[in-house]
């Protein structure tokens, strides 16, 4: 199983580069650089490529709507070049709050756009001419728009690889099915090893049944928070540290009836709790929403506790099909994070 780590949204490039080099020396296999509405991920990935030599560097995630598919392909090829073939392209739809609220573009057709980006990226990396019909590729421009001067073009450079791994962040059944069929990796959120098949099993099976034989087995990610300690007060503090994020997603990422994360947690068997968290959060009672996040959910989707218990949970993730653990270490300093991640790498084996 690969061991990876998500960087903090708010981290600075220079501050984190030395730490990432130490993480690489400590055996961490992968670093994922997020991109929400913080610094862009590409700048930091390029910076880290120059400071590392072995570990995989992954975008976690580039949003579907913020770059054209061709630019996404060019960017991935460039990052793969400067890292000597160590880049993995993580993509995802994000949500209307970010795409429409921050970027000012419509949040539309995420399923079709995902497939389109994957198809065009692979086409560009093979240096085939990109043929599209207008602003939205397979959707022609309205009559009278455009110059009519567009022509098929292929990438000038020869990429390091003509098949850069693509991982898709997906939650909904149709999106997960498509991901299992055509992508290299699948990045869900709040993965519950014992309940994941209840939510995604049918979609995964349907997608894998039509997966191309030229694709490697699907790389399944999970992204738990990590704290290894047998001190009750530190375990309690770790639970308290992750509950606000769970409450934010379950309660605040969408309206009532239109929240992917709320639906996910409900599918795990926490429907009443999910409904309460959302009601409290949307009513502005955020502290109460955080307090309503059940400990059983925190325990299930994270790696928090004594080393033996964490090892048992890692085995549960592996048994559920997880092949890459990209954790968020709960530590107060760079030194503590490096030590925690090195210890975790040794625990996973």
Whether residues 103 and 174 fall in one domain: yes
Angle between helices 13-25 and 41-49 (to 10 degrees): 50
Q: Could you tell me if 260 and 336 lie in one domain?
A: no
Q: Is residue 103 part of a domain?
A: yes
pLDDT at 67: 94
| pLDDT at res. 97 | 78
DSSP letter string, 300-339: HHSEEE-HHHHHHHHHHHHHTT--EEEEEE--SSHHHHHH
Helices 334-348 and 307-319 cross at an angle (nearest 10°) of: 60
Q: Are residues 246 and 107 in the same domain?
A: no
Are 180 and 301 found together in one domain? no
Q: Which of the residue ranges 33-42, 50-59, 212-221, 332-341 would you say has the lowest mean pLDDT?
A: 33-42
Distance from C-alpha of 193 to C-alpha of 218, rounded to nearest angstrom: 16
Does one domain contain both 71 and 169? Answer: yes
83 plus 98 within the same structural domain: yes
Q: If you average pLDDT over residues 131-147, what whole number do you get?
A: 56
Q: Which domain holds residue 71?
A: 2-225+323-348
Which residue did the predictor score with more confidence, 290 or 16? 290
- Based on the domain organization, do 32 and 46 belong to the same domain? yes
pLDDT, average across residues 185-199: 98
Lowest mean pLDDT: which of 9-13, 43-47, 185-189? Answer: 9-13
* Residue 277 resides in a domain: yes
pLDDT at position 138, please?
47
Q: What distance lies between CA 197 and its chain's CA centroid?
A: 19
DSSP class per residue in 78-135: HHHHHTTS-EEEEEE---HHHHTTTS-S----HHHHHHHHHHHHHHHHTTPPB---ST
Instruction: Domain count for the chain, please give it.
Output: 2
* 313 assigned to some structural domain: no
* Residue 318 within a domain: no
Quick one: 87 and 118 in the same domain?
A: yes
Residue 173 shares a structural domain with residue 137 = yes
Name which of 11-20, 215-224, 279-288 the model is least confident about: 11-20
Considering the domain architecture, whether residues 197 and 108 belong to the same structural domain is answered as yes
| pTM, 2 dp | 0.94
Q: Is the pLDDT of residue 17 over 50?
A: yes
Q: Which residue has the higher pLDDT, 180 or 136?
A: 180
pLDDT at 142 over 60: no
Give the CATH number for residue 341. 3.20.20.30
Find the range with the poorest average confidence among 69-73, 136-140, 174-178, 332-336.
136-140
- Under the banding of pLDDT at 50, 70 and 90, the label for residue 95 is confident
* Residue 92: predicted pLDDT: 96
H/E element, 32: strand 30-33
145 and 108 share a domain? yes
* pLDDT of 300 over the 50 cut: yes
What percent of the chain clears pLDDT 90, i.e. is strictly above it? 83
| Residue 136, pLDDT above cutoff 80 | no
The DSSP annotation for 180-230 comes to HHH-SEEE-SS--TTTHHHHHHHHHHHHHHT--TTSPPPEEEE--EEEE--
Same domain, 188 and 248: no
**Model confidence band, residue 8 (pLDDT cutoffs 50, 70, 90):** confident
């Amino acid at each position: 199983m690969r061991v990876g780590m998500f960087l903090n949204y708010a981290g600075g490039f220079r501050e984190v580069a030395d730490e990432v080099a130490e993480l690489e020396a400590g055996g961490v296999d992968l670093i994922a650089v997020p991109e929400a509405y913080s610094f862009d991920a590409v700048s930091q990935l390029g910076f880290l490529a120059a400071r590392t030599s072995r570990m995989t560097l992954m975008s976690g995630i580039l949003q579907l709507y913020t770059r054209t598919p061709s630019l996404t392909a060019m960017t991935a090829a460039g990052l793969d070049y400067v890292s000597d073939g160590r880049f993995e392209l993580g993509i995802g739809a994000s949500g209307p709050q970010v795409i429409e609220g921050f970027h000012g573009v419509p949040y539309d057709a995420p399923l079709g756009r995902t497939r389109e980006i994957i198809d065009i990226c692979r086409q560009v990396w093979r240096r085939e001419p990109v043929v599209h019909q207008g602003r939205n590729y397979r959707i022609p421009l309205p009559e009278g728009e455009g110059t009519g001067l567009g022509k098929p073009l292929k990438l000038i450079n020869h990429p390091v690889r003509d098949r850069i791994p693509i991982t898709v962040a997906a939650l909904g059944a149709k999106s997960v099915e498509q991901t299992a069929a055509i992508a290299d990796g699948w990045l869900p959120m709040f993965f519950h090893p014992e309940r994941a098949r209840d939510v995604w099993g049918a979609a995964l099976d349907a997608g894998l049944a039509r997966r191309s034989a030229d694709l490697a087995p699907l790389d399944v990610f999970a992204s738990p928070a990590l704290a290894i300690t047998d001190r009750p007060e530190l375990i309690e503090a770790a639970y308290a540290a992750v509950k606000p994020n769970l409450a934010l997603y379950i309660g605040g990422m969408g309206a009532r009836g239109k929240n992917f994360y709320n639906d996910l947690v409900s599918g795990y068997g926490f429907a009443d709790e999910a409904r309460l968290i959302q009601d409290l959060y949307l009513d502005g009672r955020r502290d109460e929403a955080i307090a309503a996040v059940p400990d059983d959910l925190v325990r299930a989707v994270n790696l928090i506790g004594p080393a033996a218990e964490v090892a048992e949970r890692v085995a549960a993730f592996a048994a559920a099909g997880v092949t890459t653990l990209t954790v968020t270490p709960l530590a107060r300093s760079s030194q503590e994070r490096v030590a925690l991640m090195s210890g975790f790498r040794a625990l996973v084996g």
